[in-house]
Structure formats: structure tokens, C-alpha cells
A and B are shown apart, each in its own frame.
Chain A
Amino acid sequence: DQQVKQNSPSLSVQEGRISILNCDYTNSMFDYFLWYKKYPAEGPTFLISISSIKDKNEDGRFTVFLNKSAKHLSLHIVPSQPGDSAVYFCAARTTSGTYKYIFGTGTRLKVLA
């Protein structure tokens, strides 16, 4: 039962354009959402997060949007750069029982120069 879903396994975007990565979730008990970026042969690195009480959080070129009614999370990267090419994971923290993080399956972003 995949509670956090990233339905697009891959995405290609031209340099300078906007990249939009999407994530859907099914559990209303998630209280925190995060995005991680992963390069080959490296562990994931934290990118940006958003609390469930907010609908937007911005950090430089990265903005995360949360639509609680649709149970949908998105990451916008503007402008996209070739160095952004990586696998992006969304994750959600569950508050039911003990805290733990549920990760999506990842979206491979390729930014074309």
C-alpha cells in the first residue's frame, strides 16, 4: 500500500524553464512533507519542507506547494539548471503511532542544456 505516490518516474525539462514534480498522498495523518534530491552514488539530501498547516514554502529557486484537500504536493524549480538533474523523492511524516517517514518512489529529472 503506497501511501505516498510519485506517478511520473521521469521528467525532462529545458534549461531555464520551470520543472514541476508532483506527489500524491493518501494518509490524512501526515503532518510534515519534505523533498529530497539524490545524485547517483550519493545519499539523498534534504531540499525543502512544508508543514501541513501551510500551503506554500519558498527557498530560492525551489517552491513547494501543498493542496490538502487534493492530498497533493508539488515542487517547482525555477529556473531549472542542468545541475538540478537528479532523482527527487517526496516524503511525508506520519503522526499515527510513532513518527516515521514514508517516501515516494522518486522522479528522475533531466534538465537539458
Chain B
Amino acid sequence: KAGVTQTPRYLIKTRGQQVTLSCSPISGHRSVSWYQQTPGQGLQFLFEYFSETQRNKGNFPGRFSGRQFSNSRSEMNVSTLELGDSALYLCASSLEGQGYGHEQFFGPGTRLTVL
């Protein structure tokens, strides 16, 4: 079974631009969660999508948004990029979501650098 895939793997943007990251979950998984990893902050939860609906949200500004498609693939968008948005963005998929099964499978991440 193929794992979680994320594209692109690396991205360089400048301040003020917007960016879209993509995540394809494991086949059959309906929940996709997004995390931001920065040095010293660990993994910070952004949001979780399940069956095309945002089910849960972390404490990030409205510049961070996401969506999920009918095939469970998910995208996250960051608008008006700031230097502090430079991070590794991780996507994790699970069968039913964070409340039902505790194991999430993570993708390799997208490394975003904002100049």
C-alpha cells in the first residue's frame, strides 16, 4: 500500500506570496491532518479534514486554510506569506480520524522557505 505523499517536497517563496501544498493520504483513509514543524516548537496542529469537512482546527491565523476533495486528497493554502511561515509542513492520514484511531501515518513533508 502506498504511503502518504506530499507535493512539492521543497518550495521557496517570497513574503506576501501565497502557496498551496498538496497531500494524498493512504488509500482508504478518510482523515487528513496538517501540522507545522518548526525548530523549538515541535509539531503544531493546523487542522483536520474528514469527508471533505474541516472537523478540527488549531490556533493558526486565517491566512492558513485547507480543503479536502472527494477522493480524500487535501490541500492547504497559506496566503500573504510571512518569514515566520518557513517550516516543514506535515500531512498525516488515518482511517477515521483523531478521535477513533490513534495511529496517524505521516508524509515526508513539504519544506517551505519564505525569503
Contacts and interface: CB of A to CB of B under 8 A. Distances in A.
Considering the complex of A and B, which 10 residue pairs feature the smallest CB-CB distances, nearest first? A43-B106, A99-B99, A103-B43, A105-B42, A99-B98, A103-B42, A98-B56, A44-B106, A46-B103, A43-B107
B56 A43 contact: no
10 contacts: A4-B42, A42-B108, A43-B4, A43-B90, A44-B43, A49-B102, A99-B97, A100-B48, A100-B56, A104-B42
B108 A93 contact: no
**Most chain B CB atoms below 10 A, which of A43, A46, A104, A105:** A43
A62 interface: no
A93 B108 CA distance: 22
Contacts of A34: 102-103
Contact of B40 (A32, A102, A105): A105
Given A43-B90, A43-B92, A105 B106 contact: no
Interface of B: 4, 33, 35, 40-45, 48, 55-56, 58, 90, 92, 97-99, 102-109
Contacts, number: 57
A101 B104 contact: yes
Interface in A52-91: 89, 91
Contacts of B104: 46, 101
B42 A41 contact: no
Given A34-B102, A49-B103, A103-B42, 7 more contacts: A32-B102, A36-B106, A98-B55, A99-B97, A100-B48, A103-B35, A105-B42
Contacts of A42: 108
A93 B103 CA distance: 11
Contacts of B48: 100
B55 to A, nearest CB: 7
